[in-house]
Amino acid sequence: MAQGLQCWNGSGTLIVDLQDYNMRYVGSQTLSLGGTWQWNIAYSGMTANGWIVYPQVGNLFQTYIVRCYDGGYVISHAPTTTPPTRTITFDIWTYS
């Protein structure tokens, strides 16, 4: 069931409007990352808005940043240094 959240300040101005989004699990991709600090991954149908890609890296989650764009997503290693090669699974979600 869809739900939402709206909050107003004391003057009656809407300050938070999360509306009601429905998340849908699309699938996952397992990638071998190494050799550089940034990777562009093509993904048909993906757009800059309404998609989330999340790495399954346990306690290393803070070292990878993912940003969706029209037609794929970019994975960046946060320190902008080349990490050791590793295989990581990315969960892909969409919301509307």
* pLDDT in the model for residue 81: 83
Separation between Cα atoms, residue 75 and residue 62, nearest integer Å = 12
pLDDT beyond 70 at 34? yes
The DSSP code sequence of 47-88 is -SSSEEEEEE-GGGGGGEEEEEETTEEEEEETTSSPPPPEEE
Q: What is the pLDDT of residues 41-86, one digit of tens each?
A: 999 999 999 999 999 877 655 688 999 999 999 999 988 888 889 8
